[in-house]
Amino acid sequence: MSDDEELQDMVASYISNVRAKFEMNSKSAEPSESSGDEEAAEPEEDIKKEVESDAESAPSDEDKPVPPMDGKRRKVKKADSSDEAEEKELKPLDSDEQDADLMKAFNELEESDIQKPKTAKERALMSIVFGGKSEFVSQLSEQATERTVKRKRKHAQQAIAEAQSSDEEDTKPVERSAVWQDSDDENDDDVNDPQVKRNKHIRDLGKLSYERRRKKFEQIVGNPKWADLDRVQEPDSDEEILQTVGHVVKSQKSTGDLPKEMIEMKVLRRLNRETKNEGEILSICFHPTSMVAMIAGKAGLVSIVTVDGERNEKLHTIGLPKFKLVCAQLTPDGNEAIFGSYRRFYHVYNLISGQSHTLPIPYQENWSMRNFRISPSGQYLASVGLCGEVHLLSAKTKELLRTIQLRYYCSALAFTPDSRYLFCHTNDTEVYVYSLEKWSIVNVFHDEGCVNGSSIALCPNGQYVATGNKQGIVNIYQLDVTLQKKFPVPLKTIDNLTTAIGSVTFNATSELLAIASPVVQNGIRLVHVRSGTVFRNFPLQNSSLGYVTTVEFSPSGGYLAIGNKKSFVSLFRVKHYQNY
């Protein structure tokens, strides 16, 4: 063996011995909470003695056996791996205190404690490997510092990960499972039923059709919130539940004022889709409390249907044989329906009991119930006579109370919302105002631009009066002005229709006014009352409403029904109003 190989073996053995003793010294130098400075100094003296004894008993170059390199490396690995094993047994110290103890242990080592090189080659090799005592100590201290920093970083990362996981568990919504499962959803048309002998191909087709219908439903309707199992549950409110019972919201208010120029409307299925046998539609009456409507036609049939916009099921049909129906009205409480014609009797149908009564016109009177109106209070009933008379009856007893004589034939009647006045529009330019408190005519005013009056309506809030004539002009007056002046000036004049006005109707909020003419097709307009402008997007494009004979709003303005001469009743949803 050459001298170079012997030196390499000596250096390797020396490095392993010094490192093992240094680690033993550093571990024994760690002070505990109960030990003092004297206990920490004892291991250092033992290390010095061991180092001196090793230096004295070190063999010469000739007698010293060549240590195997593999064995030395194993010892080094064992010494390096001892850190992790002893960290679990001993309590970890503060990094600053541990570095201070290591530096103290190295500084106390003297030059004599380290084995001196005996030849020039040993000295050169030791200087190359260690670079001197100070550099060796700094290298070991840097290694200890790196281990401490890595340990701290690992603990910090673990703490952050635990905090994040706990936050996610707190914020994550509780996953819920379906309360029940419909077997029909899985067994599409019974193709998965084991009792039905079908092959695998048919079962696969059934699954595909189920998925296809489900995707189509989500595209059209969307994914409803109640079907989302992972949604965040909101606290239930009894008031909210009561507000949303039924097909439409019952007690919510409309969202602000009605915008002008454009109105949001939705076309629904025809209101009389299951009947269509009423003939020319004469009257449409919405029930004041229930989502039900009554449709009367010239054929003598009266249909009572539900109002939901989807099915509009027929509830009942009232047949009036040998009775040419001309006019039909519901009482304000919705309990009775009155049907009139040119004949000298009329029918009263009780919607609660389902009984019908036929009442005659007084024998000495020569008039019929072909055009009548019921007061909002349900107290009076006014009917048009043959020669300018207006007969005033009790709505409850049907007894004749008064007969009002006008100069011209009366073409239209309307009560004020408080049932204090009765407005009578004649076949001329005059409009009579009759006081039901004084039992006399209090004012007669002239309708501006009118030659032959045809219709009249008063808004529910008691602010406006709308009059229509056969020249296609509709005037909107202030109600208070019409009670005093002979020639009032209209607030707004609507001349969008050029043919005779047959129907004028306000909605419940007095924001919308519907005017219609039965002379031309689609002869209907919706007017924004405050601005006096007509909505540009109604009638809807490509809509076929026919010759409109009557128009009616639901009690809260959420629905609009339009009847025509061909026995069709179109139904629209006014989206601005959420109520029925």
Q: Which CATH superfamily is domain 273-501 in?
A: YVTN repeat-like/Quinoprotein amine dehydrogenase (2.130.10.10)
Distance CA 504, CA 552 (A): 9
Pairing of strands 336-341, 345-350: antiparallel
How would you label 534-554 residue by residue, b for 16+ Cβ within 10 Å and e otherwise?
Answer: bbeebbeeeeebbbbbbbbbb
Distance CA 55, CA 304 (A): 119
Give Dmax (Cα) for the chain: 159
**Count of CB atoms within 10 A of residue 488's CB?**
22
Q: What is the pLDDT along the chain (580 residues), one digit of tens a residue?
A: 555 666 667 767 777 776 776 667 655 544 444 444 444 444 444 444 443 444 444 444 444 444 444 444 444 344 444 444 444 444 444 445 655 665 665 555 544 445 566 677 676 666 666 555 566 667 767 777 888 888 888 888 888 887 777 665 555 555 556 555 655 555 444 545 555 555 555 666 666 777 777 777 777 766 666 666 565 555 444 444 444 444 333 434 445 788 988 999 999 999 998 888 899 999 999 999 999 999 999 999 999 999 988 889 999 999 988 888 999 999 999 999 999 999 889 999 999 988 999 999 887 777 889 999 999 999 999 999 988 899 999 999 999 999 999 999 999 999 999 999 999 999 999 999 999 999 999 999 999 999 999 999 999 999 999 999 999 999 999 999 999 999 999 999 999 999 999 999 999 999 999 999 999 999 999 999 999 999 999 998 788 899 999 999 999 999 999 999 999 999 999 999 988 8
The backbone torsions φ and ψ at residue 247, rounded to the nearest 5 degrees and listed phi first, read -80, -25
Distance CA 248, CA 236 (A): 19
Q: Output DSSP code: residue 6.
A: H
Going from N- to C-terminal start, the domains of the chain cover 273-501, 502-579
Distance CA 512, CA 505 (A): 8
This prediction's pTM: 0.58
Distance CA 357, CA 339 (A): 10
The backbone torsions φ and ψ at residue 174, rounded to the nearest 5 degrees and listed phi first, read -70, 125
